[in-house]
Chains A and B, each alone.
Chain A
């Protein structure tokens, strides 16, 4: 019975229509708007659960497929479906949206309905990105996401919000238009916009290189990879807490997802040819951005840079495959790298979201994000301190938390590629621990820094619930990652088998 319901369509359109409904409730009835938004977010999460429970983890084929003609004139189809890559990310999206709605509950007082509606619409669009099997449908969702996020940062953001949000919009828009041309080009080569069809499309090396670069433009900005990362610290610092959470937890993952869905399988030869480029960019992100994070004075900026470093790990894991194949020919090592990258994405979704929420909790009380305005928070907010320490440790990759699993797999597989890559990648464990723990030390521990900190109230029930949910997720994924690994395994193996065969 479950398989007959268009679950994917429901998960996409329920929040979008729900968001429209919240808009109609209006800012005047903020209480009703909040309740409705929470109901919609929870309902969406509930509807998305069957995607996991009924998911067949033994196959790499697309599941829950829906196929309708959409724009027949251009053979664009409304084609949805998920595999091991997209399913966890969809659940992550639905889960984080519930958290974000709770996080904004009483904190946001200005234009409540518009705020919540923007997040719900954003949720539907992001799930649409993950679920699309038609390249145009993907592109449409991918671009449409810009509008709600633009408004979220611009309306509810900090003092330099206008600069940050326009920068965010133009960076991502600029990156993606090249992908549009690449998709159009492949459409004329293959006669359809089916992503799976693109995977099998034969392309010459020069075509592949151009198409690959177009994808890199689009996804590297989104991830974001050094050197096109500069929009992220600005956007994160200025965005409201909810905006930062969604940005870090989900939208960055769309960049990573783009690499495994488009760049790697469509242009494997170009990717193999240019893997040094991505590896260099990733290692710079891991090492250099890690160092940059160390010197930040602003908590949100620090976590933003830490996000860039962690996402560098993801792209590193994805592109190790070619080095491993060249040096050892071991398919298992390659699988491990991509798996590590995927787990890192999911785990980073939880951890970075949680870290931003922690900063949000402090910011709501003191209205400052500067590290120097805090100190000794543990004395007045013991419960909060426990959470923040846990998430901090997870962020630095402590075994037993989700942060460890992904990083460990990526470092392990990088040893099979080259010692120096492994060496540089492993540096992140030290750097990550350094900037995160130093942040914790300065903010949470020590003597009470000033009278603001002395007056702090510990987390209330609402804040406790959202942090506890995330803490549980981080711990479960850290202690028992097997379900996630199993779900992705066939898809990852299939991808690796596909990539190592030349398409020329």
Chain B
């Protein structure tokens, strides 16, 4: 066989962030055991420190050349670094918004933080996967943490139900993915994505096996992303999970899933692009339509945002469908800004809950402008950004993706996407309507910790600033994918 059997010591420097997060997760697990419930703040602080440390470690390596190590299983490159930074920031915010929520519901336990950190590690591994094996390992580490997190409020029947659904469907998706991997392995004889990339083109003619493998892989990935018609789990999980977990599920994992798509389909199976491009077009077209149309009928705000997520997944896929560097960076820009917006909007949903009465339905947000003009304004910014109205960053995300697909001549697809985003605008407007035009029966002011207020305010302002001057982030995305 062509694989040399000599031992090459791995390059530990490029894996430092992963090693750090793993050790800290273990440390937090141990330390937390000795803490009383009132001292849980220490666990929280340690988690934030972990994320900060990982951020620094990643930034140190940023800008250096791509390294592939661990016998071709692990890759550290600019795209991975940018996405990891996005993951750290998103999860840091998630944990911050979660804290008060968990305390208020009496489920402020250390396991939440440990699972969150392990999930982060899973995402990091996914982002840096250079072979099917690491990709799968990362995915499972993330998924298992998420299953447990969804069921975190274990006495709540709805949570358990959501976790069950998520677990069963997630396991099915993993099965599909593994099946696809095995077929690709069967044709190319390697798990290493770069070897696969070389072999995929050679074995293209005649055999149906690679195409079938791609089909299974796409199905598995579509499950994880929540693209139609593999989206059934998503609304149920969003609605059933505790809001802080919904926030987790809806944010950073999308970045990891995007990375997985890039690694497996673009980098690994780029030679079979004509096969997966067709499938992605179908997925994207369906996701944009189903997501936007069904969201209109939702009264539960978490469910509505779930369908909105589905439609955004469709947009992210559009960028990948374009199949150009522009398209990939547009999709990455879209994913990053989507995560930023989602974290903010769920953050406000958490904050706007009155003590003992969570925001479940869109109606529960009514009169938010009377309760707190500032938070209502922030939510307005988030909703308008997701709807794609300028001067907010969501507009440029849509714009960049549309530009990429018009550039490759898919004008019809672009028209289709913009028409449905008009349909989508309706349900974001409804949230604004409820906040601004309807009156609340009471005007309980919103109580939040100072740090939460600052972060959520900064989040909203960033959306505006990026909307006024998107060049910086866009430049990062473009240079990361060159």
Which A residues have a C-beta under 8 Å from some C-beta of B? 23, 26-27, 70-74, 111, 114, 136, 139-141, 143-144, 146-147, 150-151, 154-155, 161-162, 165-166, 169-170, 173-174, 177-178, 180-181, 184-185, 187-188
Known: A169-B425, A178-B418, A184-B406. A155 touches B436 (CB 8 A): yes
Is there contact, CB below 8 Å, between B429 and A169? yes
**Contact between chains at B402 and A173 (CB < 8 Å):** no
User: A147–B384 contact, CB under 8 A?
Assistant: yes
- A147-B389, A188-B406 are known contacts. Are A170 and B422 too (CB-CB below 8 A)? yes
Q: Mark B160-180, 1 if CB is under 8 A from A, else 0.
A: 000000000000000000000
CA distance A26 to B478 in the complex (A): 41
Let me know if A114 and B373 touch, CB within 8 A: yes
Q: Which of B25-33, B194-202, B390-398 lies at the interface with chain A? A: B390-398
CB neighbours (8 Å) of A165 from chain B are 433, 437
Can you name 15 A-B pairs with beta carbons within 8 Å?
A70-B469, A70-B471, A71-B471, A136-B399, A140-B391, A151-B432, A154-B437, A161-B437, A165-B433, A166-B429, A169-B429, A170-B426, A177-B419, A181-B418, A188-B407
Chain A proximity of B402: nearest CB distance (Å): 6
B375-423 residues with Cβ-Cβ distance < 8 A to A are 377, 380, 384, 389-391, 395-396, 399-400, 402-403, 406-407, 411, 414-415, 418-419, 421-422
Alpha-carbon distance between A166 and B423 when the two chains are bound, in angstroms: 12
In the complex, are the beta carbons of A162 and B411 less than 8 A apart? no
Once the chains bind, are A174 and B396 in contact (CB under 8 Å)? no
A184 touches B414 (CB 8 A): yes
Return B403 CB to nearest CB of chain A, in Å. Answer: 6
The answer on a CB contact under 8 Å between A71 and B474 is yes
Residues on the A chain within 8 Å of B402, using CB: 180-181, 184
Given A177-B421, A178-B418, check contact A150 B373 (CB 8 Å): no
Is B475 engaged at the interface, CB distance under 8 Å to the other chain? Answer: yes
B329–chain A nearest beta-carbon distance, Å: 8
Would you call B470 an interface residue if the criterion is a C-beta within 8 Å of the partner chain's C-beta atoms? Answer: yes
- Name the one of B380, B384, B391, B425 contacting A170, with C-beta atoms under 8 angstroms: B425
By a CB distance below 8 angstroms, the chain B residues around A184 are: 402-403, 406, 414
The answer to whether A74 touches B436 (Cβ under 8 A) is no
Q: What residues of chain B lie closer than 8 Å to A26, measured between beta carbons?
A: 373
Task: Tell whether, in the assembled complex, residue B433 and residue A162 are in contact, meaning their CB atoms are under 8 Å apart.
Answer: yes
Q: For A143, give its contact among B390, B419, B474 (CB under 8 Å).
A: B390
Chain A proximity of B419: nearest CB distance (Å) = 7
Q: Which residue of B lies closest to A125 (CB)?
A: B391
Task: Report how many residues on chain B are interfacial, defined by Cβ distance under 8 Å.
Answer: 37
Chain A residues with CB below 8 A from B395, complex form: 140, 143
CB distance from B104 to the nearest CB of A (A): 29
Contact of B400 among A74, A169, A170, A181 (CB under 8 A): A74
The smallest beta-carbon distance between A330 and chain B, in angstroms, is: 39
Chain A residue numbers with a CB within 8 Å of B399 are: 74, 136, 180
Please give the distance in Å from B332's CB to the nearest CB on chain A. Answer: 13
Q: How far is the CA of A150 from the CA of B395 in the complex (A)?
A: 18
Minimum CB–CB distance for A489 against chain B, Å? 34
Closest Cβ neighbor of B415 among chain A residues? A181
Q: In the complex, are the beta carbons of B436 and A71 less than 8 A apart?
A: no
List B contacts of A180 (CB < 8 A): 399, 402, 418
Q: How far is the CB of A390 from chain B (nearest CB, A)?
A: 36
On chain A, the residues within 8 Å of B403 by CB distance are: 74, 184, 187
CA distance in complex: A74, B402 (Å): 12
Beyond the given A71-B471, A114-B373, A181-B418, could you list 12 further A-B residue pairs with CB under 8 A, ordered by the A residue number?
A72-B471, A111-B369, A136-B399, A140-B391, A143-B390, A150-B432, A154-B436, A162-B433, A174-B419, A180-B418, A181-B415, A184-B403
| A71 engages B396 (CB within 8 Å) | yes
Query: Within 8 Å CB of A155, what residues of B?
Result: 369, 436-437
Closest to B406 in A: A184
How far apart are the CA atoms of A177 and B469 in the complex, in Å? Answer: 21
Complex alpha-carbon distance, A180 and B418, angstroms: 9
Complex CA–CA separation, A161 to B407 (angstroms): 41
Query: Are the C-beta atoms of A181 and B411 separated by less than 8 Å?
Result: yes
Known: A73-B474, A140-B391. A151 touches B436 (CB 8 A): yes
Instruction: Kindly list the 9 A-B residue pairs having the minimum CB-CB distance in the complex, ordered from nearest.
Output: A177-B418, A140-B390, A184-B406, A174-B422, A154-B437, A144-B390, A143-B390, A73-B474, A144-B391
Residues in B with CB closer than 8 Å to A151 are 432, 436
Chain B residue with Cβ nearest A143: B390
* Interchain CA distance A154-B390 in the complex, whole Å: 20
